[in-house]
Amino acid sequence: MALRGAFRTRCGLLSLLSQRLPHGNHVRGCVSPFLSTHRRNNSTAPKIKVDFDQTAGVSIMTLQNPPVNSLSLDFLTEFCSALEKLEMDKSCRGVILTSGQPKVFSAGLDIMEMYGKSPERCGEFWRAVQEMWLKLYSSNMVIIAAINGSSPAGGCLMSMTCDYRIMADNPRYSIGLNETQLGIVAPFWFKETMVNTVGHRTTEIALQLGQLYSPTEALDIGLVDKLVPEDQIITTATQTMTKWLAVPDHARQITKSMMRKPTIDKLMSKREPDIQNFVSFITKDPIQKSLGLYLAMLKKRKS
């Protein structure tokens, strides 16, 4: 009860949606026409900034996909290509992931990529989401998340693929897999990444409730590893990186692989069925209506 109470206070907006949507995907409601003309970030400016410190062997990857670093197909493609370049560069041993947008690390998957799109396009998008997860989760480099803002759903997934998570200690920020609050379901590999991070029971509660945690709550359950004032997040990440890079690469990499391989192998062996599953789920009429209502609510909150 206490947990649920805390969740309601924290996620007034999300609770509002769950109150408005009947359970069981029987959503009936009209979708606002303005959603189809949702403002898109069509800028050709780089969506990822990479600053490589050759001496330290560490790159800072800054996510810069305004306004909220949502994970669109274009963003994911650029992100994977940048990460692959660093992975191939033997002089780069560590990556710090952070956001260049104020108050948000990443708003998660770009909902517009899942709303009103053809099955082919949805499939292409999902493959890119899988690719991002596979590249990050199986990276040989040390990856540290400097979470300087809210990080719901796909943003939380991205953070959980990292080896260590440092979050800005600001009670306005939140992090978690909130998919159920949108009327959608976190796939098995999102779930397993969370189980591998915080354990089975905590994940069971978190996923069913679609729980978003404050930084302090996230630290309590082990979803993040350290809280620091926001202006110290990069220096702390850099210091932490030095400690991690002091461990011989091969020993650390084999250990990392041992911990993560079962989950990675599972997705690798089910990639195509997972894409089909996603496409058939996301294109269903009730799911589309849920997403439409959620998007409308995100906008209404501003006015």
Ligand X SMILES: CCCCCCCCCCC/C=C/C(=O)SCCNC(=O)CCNC(=O)[C@H](O)C(C)(C)COP(=O)(O)OP(=O)(O)OC[C@H]1O[C@@H](n2cnc3c(N)ncnc32)[C@H](O)[C@@H]1OP(=O)(O)O
Residues in a beta bridge with 291: none
Nearest residue by C-beta to ligand X? Answer: 108
By CB under 6 A, tell whether 107 contacts ligand X.
yes
Of 21, 109, 293, 295, which one is the catalytic site residue? Answer: 109
Sign of CA dihedral 150, 300, 154, 201: positive
Of 108, 148, 179, 292, which one is the catalytic site residue? Answer: 179
Contact string (CB under 6 A) for ligand X, positions 203-242, x = contact = ----------------------------------------
Q: How far is C-alpha 20 from the geometric centre of its chain's CA atoms?
A: 25
Give the residue, chosen from 163, 179, 192, 217, that forms a contact with ligand X under the rule CB under 6 A: 179
Closest CB 8 distance from ligand X, rounded Å = 16
Contact predicate 143/94, CB 8 Å: yes
Closest CB 112 distance from ligand X, rounded Å = 5
By CB under 6 A, tell whether 152 contacts ligand X.
yes
By CB under 6 A, tell whether 176 contacts ligand X.
no
Rounded to whole angstroms, the Cα distance separating 239 from 219 reads: 19
By CB under 6 A, tell whether 105 contacts ligand X.
no
The verdict on whether omega for the bond into residue 171 sits within 30 degrees of 0, i.e. cis, is no
Closest CB 55 distance from ligand X, rounded Å = 35
Rounded to whole angstroms, the Cα distance separating 226 from 215 reads: 9
Residue 109 annotated in active site: yes
By CB under 6 A, tell whether 172 contacts ligand X.
no
Closest CB 103 distance from ligand X, rounded Å = 5
Closest CB 191 distance from ligand X, rounded Å = 10
Give the residue, chosen from 94, 176, 187, 215, that forms a contact with ligand X under the rule CB under 6 A: 187
5: tokens are 């109470």
Q: List C-alpha distances in Å: 131 to 10, 103, 114.
A: 32, 26, 17
Judged by CB under 6 A, the number of residues near ligand X is 30
Rounded to whole angstroms, the Cα distance separating 212 from 218 reads: 9
Residue with the two structure tokens 């692989």: 257
Rounded to whole angstroms, the Cα distance separating 31 from 103 reads: 28
Rounded to whole angstroms, the Cα distance separating 189 from 130 reads: 9
Stretch 18-47 residues interacting with ligand X (CB under 6 A): 38-39
Contact predicate 148/99, CB 8 Å: yes
Active site residues: 109, 154, 178-179
Binding site for ligand X (CB under 6 A): 38-39, 67-68, 70, 103-104, 107-112, 150, 152-154, 178-179, 182, 184-185, 187, 277-278, 281-282, 298-299, 302
